[in-house]
């Protein structure tokens, strides 16, 4: 509203985005998320869908706006900076597909098909290995 938009609230409990902002004949879909405070790792859950044009991330009294193309790490680092924290380390960012990335997605409720495929394969390998081991040792048979 500060930017001169009319803001419309959503009446549906399940909707792909939270608000509609209108200015000069143009509507933009706005999704709103809140940062969960944490002394060292404030975080938010990135929307699972991509049916929004603008993401508003609320950290205390400040609102950060992001485009759909903004990498999630940049979003996170924006409010980390606001809380006086150093940028999120790249260490956490094991590239996709990997088990680490899969668990990271899971924590953040993100969907990533390559990582899910990787884990399916990974679990399948483990299952095969267990079966092989069980066949080799008599105690493993039960």
Q: Which residues in this chain contact Zn ion in the complex, by CB under 5 A?
A: 96, 101, 112, 115
Using CB atoms within 10 Å of the CB of residue 50, give its burial: 0 to 12 exposed, 13 to 18 middle, 19+ buried: exposed
- The residue (of 77 and 94) whose beta carbon lies closer to Zn ion is 94
- Least distance to Zn ion from the beta carbon of 40, Å? 24
- Write the DSSP string, 67-92: -TTS-HHHHHHHHHHHTTPPPPPGGG
- Least distance to Zn ion from the beta carbon of 118, Å? 8
- The residue (of 48 and 130) whose beta carbon lies closer to Zn ion is 48
Across the chain, how many H-helices and E-strands are there?
3, 5
- The residue (of 16 and 97) whose beta carbon lies closer to Zn ion is 97
- Least distance to Zn ion from the beta carbon of 34, Å? 24
- Least distance to Zn ion from the beta carbon of 116, Å? 8
- The residue (of 93 and 96) whose beta carbon lies closer to Zn ion is 96
Which residue, 102, 99, 107, 92, is CA-closest to 126?
A: 99
């Amino acid at each position: 509203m500060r930017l001169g938009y009319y803001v419309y609230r959503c009446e549906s409990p399940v909707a792909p985005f939270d608000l509609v902002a209108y200015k000069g004949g143009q509507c933009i879909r706005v999704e709103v998320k809140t940062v969960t405070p944490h002394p060292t790792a404030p975080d938010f859950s990135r929307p699972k869908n991509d049916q929004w044009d603008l993401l508003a991330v609320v950290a205390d009294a400040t609102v950060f706006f992001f485009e759909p193309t903004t990498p999630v790490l940049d979003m996170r680092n924006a409010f980390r900076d606001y809380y006086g924290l150093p940028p999120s380390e790249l260490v956490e960012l094991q590239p996709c597909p990997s088990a680490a990335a899969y668990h990271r997605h899971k924590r953040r409720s993100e969907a990533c098909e390559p990582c899910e495929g990787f884990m399916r394969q990974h679990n399948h390998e483990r299952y095969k290995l267990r079966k092989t081991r069980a066949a080799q040792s008599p105690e493993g048979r039960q």
